[in-house]
Amino acid sequence: MATSSTISATYRHGHPAGSLGARLLHHPASTAAQARGARFAAEVVGRRLGGGYAAFALRQAATGLRLLAASGDEAADQAALARLRQSGDAASILVAGGSAGLARTALAAGGQVTGTDVNPWILLDAAIEIHAQPETDLAILAVLAGRIVTPFRAGAMAVAPGIMAAAYLLLGTRYIDPADGRRITAEAFLDRAAEWQRLRQKLPKIACVAGISFWKKRRIADFLGETPIYASSAAAAVRAARRRGGGIAVWPSRAPAGLDQKAAEAGVKLFRIEDGFIRSRGLGADFIPPASVIIDGRGIYYDTREPSDLEHLLQTAAFPQDLLARAHRLTQELVRRGITKYNVGAPMAALPSRPGLRRILVPGQVANDKSVLAGGAGLMPGLPLLERVRAANPDAFIIYKPHPDVEAGHRPGAVPDAQALRYADQVLRDAPMGTLIGAVDEIHTLTSLAGFEGLLRGRRVVTYGVPFYAGWGLTTDLNPPKRARRMLSLDALVAATLILYPFYIDPVTKLPCEPEELIQRLDTDSPRRAGMLVTARRLQGALRRKLARPASEVV
């Protein structure tokens, strides 16, 4: 079973897995330990914890299966399979895990096979017989559930659930919190596992993923809790989704041609996937994978021409007081720790003193970014936006901050300083966004997330396009959204945008987490060291940047 989400994903007192537990079964623990074990077993079974949480377990709905949990010993597994074939209908056999050779034998006989990264309770629910070696996760879980388990070489395991839990999962196992490495109780670890399961179960049923960059594939698998099918064409994506009975998640900017139409014709649900708002410590252009993602079944948050799951939440969700209080605390922590989307930049020098002048920040954006094309209202970032901001604010002190991806040379939209300074008073490149926002009075933007981050820091935000955070009564909108929106508090906007809408993962443990845990990780962990691929990417960006500059500016 997947060690990232199993109740025994720790080590067992330095002994080979289960050896201490096996000895304890022959020398049962005290009555108090057995009573604690019984309670623990009931919690595991009641919460259906242990193993992976993959949604796709069997190729068809089935009951009456004879389940064979492979041990990894090829000879023993083949022998056990042979005995099962002799004792009943081979079509009723389901082999979980094991070698490719074992799978071929089972399939040739007409049985079914599945991997090990599968929710074990789906297997146990479908099984009328369970054949497994003692000390394996599946055997332990089956006994906790009161099921009879037949080992490969011995009689049935007749062990009380409380004794099994006490031997293997309480006395025979130490638990550590993967977030900080502290030793914790078994019950505390069980609560953590239940939280991981709850967060994973919020995910929609994704059968296939399309349009994902090669370097993001592993992280997407971390979010989904399994390795999905990756499709490079619309037809392949639809076939995989129909075969597995789930939806397709697609990165909109890299969607295969014709995917929307083919998915609609086949009745397959399409989800748009994008980076989240608290993304990482470093740029995606530097191959830093996201620690949060959006998986939207209606549209996508940055294309406000059509409804999205975020807009639906903001428009219809009830925001109870405890959720609003949590959102308020989250905002305070983000501001206190200086957390933004990418968390890049060197320490910033103080801005020049301009008594009596409003300080306006104009954040740069990528010229061909989907949010600009969809929500820019026909106005482009860079010089066109700067010119308009200056025309409306002739006496303000205007600061222009280029977008970090553009500045790194990876995306289009660079503005030479000489041109930017026709309208701006200062160009700041490497300043951390959170610190810079705290030093200005207003944010003027098309659709940049910096506007949302400005709201978190109590700044006046003026929108020239239609970003997702406009129209709720918190911004000055020069191009109001076409669909009417209700008035919201900042806490409600934060609750929907940062708590209810995205999915988060701890970039160290690769386990699901809440935004509070992620910002603590981003604030305390060191940035990832650049590898050869990142170094090559940065050199490529530097070359593009140099070639894009006018000859008069090249030193």
**For the domain that residue 445 is a member of, what is the CATH number?**
3.40.50
Average confidence (pLDDT) over 98-102: 93
**308 in any annotated domain:** no
Is residue 472 within 8 Å of 487, Cβ to Cβ?
yes
**Bridging pattern class, strands 65-69 and 93-96:** parallel
pLDDT for 237 beyond 50 = yes
Q: Mean pLDDT lowest for which of 113-117, 144-148, 369-373, 397-401?
A: 113-117
CA 466 to chain centre: 26
* Tens of pLDDT, residues 391-408: 999 999 999 998 877 776
Q: What is the pLDDT of residue 555?
A: 26
**397 in any annotated domain:** yes
Is residue 265 within 8 Å of 276, Cβ to Cβ?
no
Higher pLDDT, 475 or 511: 475
Q: What is the pLDDT of residue 552?
A: 33
* Tens of pLDDT, residues 50-94: 876 554 444 444 678 999 999 889 999 999 999 999 988 889 999
Q: What is the pLDDT of residue 122?
A: 86
- Residue 217 CB contacts under 8 Å (≥ 6 apart), including other chains: 209, 230
One-letter amino acid of 551: A
Q: How far is CA 336 from CA 281, 438, 527, in A?
A: 16, 11, 19
Angle between helix axes 234-244 and 259-266 (nearest 10 degrees) is: 30
Q: What is the pLDDT of residue 454?
A: 97
Higher pLDDT, 362 or 545: 362
- Residue 430 CB contacts under 8 Å (≥ 6 apart), including other chains: 345, 346
**359 in any annotated domain:** yes
Q: What is the pLDDT of residue 399?
A: 95
Average confidence (pLDDT) over 27-38: 82
**408 in any annotated domain:** yes
Q: What is the pLDDT of residue 393?
A: 97
Where is the domain boundary, 166, 196, 226?
196
Q: What is the pLDDT of residue 201?
A: 84
Share of the chain above pLDDT 90, in %: 54
Best-predicted range by mean pLDDT (157-161, 267-271, 380-384): 267-271
- The model's confidence at residue 547, banded by pLDDT at 50, 70 and 90, is low
pLDDT for 458 beyond 80 = yes
**495 in any annotated domain:** yes
- The model's confidence at residue 411, banded by pLDDT at 50, 70 and 90, is low
* Tens of pLDDT, residues 340-381: 887 666 566 677 777 778 999 999 988 888 888 898 888 988
Q: What is the pLDDT of residue 181?
A: 87
Tokens of 7: 């109740």
pLDDT for 261 beyond 80 = yes
Tokens of 537: 């990417």
C-alpha to C-alpha distance for 242 and 260, rounded to whole angstroms = 15
The mean predicted confidence, pLDDT, of the chain is: 85
Q: What is the pLDDT of residue 432?
A: 85
Q: What is the pLDDT of residue 400?
A: 95
- The model's confidence at residue 19, banded by pLDDT at 50, 70 and 90, is low
Where is the domain boundary, 164, 196, 228?
196
Average confidence (pLDDT) over 126-147: 90
CA angle 321, 326, 328 (to 5 degrees): 95
- The model's confidence at residue 439, banded by pLDDT at 50, 70 and 90, is very high
Q: What is the largest CA-CA distance in the chain?
A: 90
Can you give the residue range of the structural domain that contains 126? 3-196
pLDDT for 11 beyond 50 = no
Higher pLDDT, 552 or 246: 246
pLDDT for 312 beyond 60 = yes
- The model's confidence at residue 28, banded by pLDDT at 50, 70 and 90, is low
Q: In terms of Cα–Cα distance, which of 269, 260, 47 is closest to 141?
A: 47
**Bridging pattern class, strands 270-275 and 292-296:** antiparallel
Q: How far is CA 169 from CA 21, 37, 38, 213, 322, in A?
A: 8, 8, 11, 40, 35
Tokens of 462: 């003026």
This prediction has a pTM of: 0.83
Average confidence (pLDDT) over 514-522: 93
**209 in any annotated domain:** no
- The model's confidence at residue 478, banded by pLDDT at 50, 70 and 90, is very high
The count of structural domains within the chain is 2
Q: What is the pLDDT of residue 36?
A: 93
Q: In terms of Cα–Cα distance, which of 473, 421, 475, 417 is closest to 446?
A: 475
pLDDT for 214 beyond 60 = yes
Q: What is the pLDDT of residue 480?
A: 93
**235 in any annotated domain:** no
Q: Mean pLDDT lowest for which of 127-131, 262-266, 292-296, 535-539?
A: 535-539
- The model's confidence at residue 152, banded by pLDDT at 50, 70 and 90, is confident
**11 in any annotated domain:** yes
Where is the domain boundary, 465, 481, 499?
499
Q: Burial level of 428, CB count in 10 A (0-12/13-18/19+)?
A: middle
